A and B are shown apart, each in its own frame.
Chain A
Amino acid sequence: EAQVTQNPRYLITVTGKKLTVTCSQNMNHEYMSWYRQDPGLGLRQIYYSMNVEVTDKGDVPEGYKVSRKEKRNFPLILESPSPNQTSLYFCASTHFSGRRYEQYFGPGTRLTVT
């Protein structure tokens, strides 16, 4: 079964305490990305990756880091979280072949930074 897993699903943390949200896909997709969703601001892309060791900034990369050491994993790292990073985060995995897209999202991680 095609799957994108994210952990944790819910996290409450304090300002400045480093955290990592993991994302893993089992479809051997080359593209992966991270989004945040905020009320009134919609979905915004944080970082994306076109393959192993290839990452690029999205719309709102400040305060986040990513790495893509293996094809299946794309963790999101908040080195020093701040309250403005309180949000709902989605990881997505994508395959594109010819004219056909295949894309799956993880279940989301709701992060609260106090």
Chain B
Amino acid sequence: AQKITQTQPGMFVQEKEAVTLDCTYDTSDQSYGLFWYKQPSSGEMIFLIYQGSYDEQNATEGRYSLNFQKARKSANLVISASQLGDSAMYFCAMREGKQAGNMLTFGGGTRLMVKP
């Protein structure tokens, strides 16, 4: 089974609106971490946000928030007030186990396009 699933290959959003990018995960570990990354067309990888499995509150970083629903095994990224510069590929990833440096497994990505 896929460990990380991103079901939306591509999405459009109107500038200034909020958008949710879906991510579901599969693990039997009790301790794990969930990550989101952004890759603009220029190619660089940018770390956006992290959520630990024991964190009760949803992580937030500026306009990014991670909607963590443990029972559903979902870790959706919410971008509020979309900007043109948010157009990019977005990857969800998971680290299993307690060690912060453990291996990451990535989803296939969602391409977000922000319309002016």
List chain A positions with a Cβ less than 8 A from chain B. 30-31, 33, 35, 42-45, 48-50, 56, 58-59, 88, 90, 92, 94, 96, 99-105, 107-108
**B101 near A94 (CB under 8 angstroms)?**
yes
Count B interface residues, CB 8 Å.
23
**A48 near B55 (CB under 8 angstroms)?**
no
**B55 near A49 (CB under 8 angstroms)?**
no
When the two chains form the complex, which single residue of A50, A92, A96, A102 contacts B45, counting CB atoms closer than 8 Å?
A: A92
Q: Does B43 have its Cβ within 8 Å of any Cβ on chain A?
A: yes
Q: Does B71 have its Cβ within 8 Å of any Cβ on chain A?
A: no
Bound complex: CA A43 to CA B39 (Å):
11
A-B contact pairs, 9 of them (CB 8 A): A42-B91, A90-B45, A94-B100, A96-B101, A99-B52, A101-B47, A105-B44, A105-B45, A108-B45
Binds A, one of B10-18, B23-31, B73-81, B106-114: B106-114
Bound complex: CA A96 to CA B104 (Å):
14
List chain B positions with a Cβ less than 8 A from chain A. 33, 35, 43-47, 50, 52, 55, 91, 93, 99-109
When the two chains form the complex, which single residue of A44, A88, A100, A101 contacts B35, counting CB atoms closer than 8 Å?
A: A101
B51, closest chain A residue (CB): A99
**B106 near A107 (CB under 8 angstroms)?**
no
Residues in chain B near residue A88, CB distance under 8 A: 43
A57, closest chain B residue (CB): B103
**B35 near A99 (CB under 8 angstroms)?**
no
Greatest chain B CB density within 10 A among A33, A42, A104 is at: A42
Q: How far is the CB of A94 from chain B (nearest CB, A)?
A: 7
Bound complex: CA A14 to CA B73 (Å):
44
**B44 near A48 (CB under 8 angstroms)?**
no
Residues in chain A near residue B55, CB distance under 8 A: 99
**B52 near A59 (CB under 8 angstroms)?**
no
**A43 near B91 (CB under 8 angstroms)?**
yes
**A45 near B100 (CB under 8 angstroms)?**
no
Q: How far is the CB of B6 from chain A (nearest CB, A)?
A: 9
**B103 near A31 (CB under 8 angstroms)?**
no
**B100 near A42 (CB under 8 angstroms)?**
no
Say yes or no: A42-B108 contact (C-beta < 8 A), given A103-B47, A105-B44. Answer: yes
